[in-house]
Amino acid sequence: MATTDESPGEETLSRIPRDAVRSLETAVAGDVVLPGDPAYGDVRRLWNGMIDRYPAIVVRCTGVADVVEAVTFAREEGLPVAVRGGGHNVAGTAVCDGGLVVDLSEMNAVRVDREDGTVRVEGGATLGDVDRETQRFALATPLGVVSETGVAGLTLNGGYGHLSRQYGLSLDNLTSVDVVTADGQVRTASAERNEDLFWGIRGGGGGLGVVTSFEYELHEVGPEVYALFAWFHGDDTAAVMARYREWTADAPREASVIAFTAHVPEIEEFPEETRGAPAFAVFGCYRGDPEDATDVFGPLLEGDDGEGIAIADFSGPMPYVDLQSMLDEDYPDGLRYYWKSVFLTEVTDEVVDLMIRYNEAAPSAFSTVDLWHLGGAIEEVAPDATAFSHRDKPFMLNFEANWEEAADDEANVAWGREGIAEAERLAVASGGYGNFPGMNEDPARRRFGDNHERLVELKTEYDPENLFGANGGVTPASSD
């Protein structure tokens, strides 16, 4: 039997007429990278070191015209399309085997309109790109908590961050988008134009087209905020979590806190005797009067009779841009990642016990179990107002498996999957978040809930051949 050592990209490329590839190279202003080109290894590599896929063609777009050419070529040649913005989706949706990658990483311009109170962001920009420009005017829009994350994937799947309880999800702050759909048309979608497409873009995960630019509403934030970042011994997890659960009941919207179990980092900032041991931490910020911050966060940090005293406390005033990049070094390019989530209606004793047990059993000391406090402005938007439906859940539990060696893949992925599977069996748990999707192994309905059927209708209208199927979202209805 004949065998081949060709990669999926090389195999697909060999079936595409060379003249067609030359025409694409001539039509686009950016680079067209093929298997064997010197840059190929770099452009197919993603943030998540687990992802090892081989596209046939990568088009490094310099503008909307390049995106149109790339999408049209892929449709005519029957190639699946993956879209690379920041390349940080943990499931690796920014690249696909044997398909075409629309690479937006060079399209990263950010323009602030102070009069309108908006910012226009190209599809390849990162959170850091946006914050750098908007903070010049002490303005911000709700984005994530790691500055190297791409705005596109974050927004298309929801977008949680420090500002969410006060101003909503990233997608809630969209005023319009420009999108190239599967037919090669450039459409503007907003509340007044292509309203159905705008509905689906906001939470649909990117399966309806390539969003080349986003326009967001801006809010007065910074330039300085009060950051909360305190670490406790693992033995104090239950006690501090009890304080956290009480605090979230009436926390001000100007305050945000993510609580997580972890292991104390092996760095000099922590007491030597605690390094490597199980731990519990709280991370967030307060955007009101800095003089009020200690009163706001005091109930989290002050235990009765000395119980649950922090082993390290890095809290204090800092520039908002520094807060946004504070976790960057914890998520370096090339580390291996598997993240999966479930929403919670309540943080029960069973949830706390699960967080403690799985933290102690984690195969990697880099892994964490995170509890996001949601609610506020997020839940004030109706579940069917956008494609993002899980708004009535005040918490989200996320298993972050983070590790270094490929030999440890099976153990770490199993840890994350088993943890979420156990959480899902709790009466307070349901749904999942598109930015923490595991490897998109679950049915799309888990992500989209009651909005699934409407998304299928939109997918069937705008992408009937599932050109943009690499994102792991909904699929179009069959022709019959």
DSSP 205-221: TTTT-EEEEEEEE-EE-
Q: Specify the CATH class of 8-103 in words.
A: alpha beta
Instruction: Dig out the tokens for 425 from the structure.
Output: 């069996």
Measured CA distances, 188 to 122, 185, 191, 223, 468 (Å): 14, 10, 10, 32, 18
How far is residue 396's CA from residue 424's CA, in Å, rounded to a whole number?
A: 12
Buried b (16+ CB within 10 A) or exposed e, 82-118: bbbbbbbbbbbbbbbbbbbbbbbbebbebebeeeebb
pLDDT band at 135 (very low <50, low <70, confident <90, very high): very high
Q: Are 395 and 378 in contact (CB under 8 A)?
A: no
Buried b (16+ CB within 10 A) or exposed e, 131-154: bebbbeeebbbbbbbbbbbbbbbb
- Provide CB contacts within 8 A for 123, sequence distance 6+: 83, 85, 104, 107, 151, 152, 210, 211, 212, 213, 214
How far is residue 23's CA from residue 26's CA, in Å, rounded to a whole number?
A: 5
Cα torsion through 52, 400, 442, 437, rounded to 10: -70
Note the pLDDT tens digit of each residue in 81-124.
Answer: 999 999 999 999 999 999 999 999 999 999 999 999 999 999 99
**CA 444 to chain CA mean position, Å:** 17
3-state DSSP assignment of residue 258: strand
pLDDT band at 5 (very low <50, low <70, confident <90, very high): confident
pLDDT of residue 479: 41
**CA 173 to chain CA mean position, Å:** 16
DSSP lists the bridge partners of residue 210 as 180
Note the pLDDT tens digit of each residue in 330-355.
Answer: 999 999 999 999 999 999 999 999 99
- What's the chain's average pLDDT? 95
- Provide CB contacts within 8 A for 480, sequence distance 6+: none
pLDDT of residue 471: 82
Q: Specify the CATH class of 110-221 in words.
A: alpha beta
Indicate the burial class of 399 (C-beta count within 10 angstroms; 0-12, 13-18, 19 or more).
Answer: buried
pLDDT of residue 302: 82
DSSP lists the bridge partners of residue 437 as 340
Instruction: Dig out the tokens for 343 from the structure.
Output: 């929403």
Please report, for the chain, the start and end positions of each structural domain, with discontinuous segments joined by +: 8-103, 110-221, 224-430
Q: Are 385 and 172 in contact (CB under 8 A)?
A: no
pLDDT of residue 60: 98
- Provide CB contacts within 8 A for 57, sequence distance 6+: 9, 13, 21, 24, 32, 33, 34, 73, 79, 100, 101
**CA 34 to chain CA mean position, Å:** 28
> Which run of H or E residues covers position 83?
strand 81-84
For residue 388, which amino acid is it?
A: F
How far is residue 472's CA from residue 91's CA, in Å, rounded to a whole number?
A: 9
How far is residue 415's CA from residue 407's CA, in Å, rounded to a whole number?
A: 14
Q: What percentage of the chain carries pLDDT values higher than 90?
A: 95
31-33: strand order across its sheet: 31-33, 57-60, 100-103, 81-84
How many other C-beta atoms are found inside a 10 Å radius of the C-beta of residue 268? 8
Residue with tokens 């690499």: 470
Note the pLDDT tens digit of each residue in 203-259.
Answer: 999 999 999 999 999 999 989 999 999 999 999 999 999 999 999 999 999 999 999
pLDDT band at 306 (very low <50, low <70, confident <90, very high): low
DSSP lists the bridge partners of residue 370 as 260, 398
Q: Are 105 and 124 in contact (CB under 8 A)?
A: yes
pLDDT band at 304 (very low <50, low <70, confident <90, very high): low
The domain 224-430: what is its CATH number?
3.40.462.20
pLDDT of residue 480: 37
- Provide CB contacts within 8 A for 37, sequence distance 6+: none
Note the pLDDT tens digit of each residue in 380-407.
Answer: 999 999 999 999 999 999 999 999 999 9
pTM of the full structure: 0.94
- Provide CB contacts within 8 A for 407, sequence distance 6+: none
pLDDT of residue 338: 98
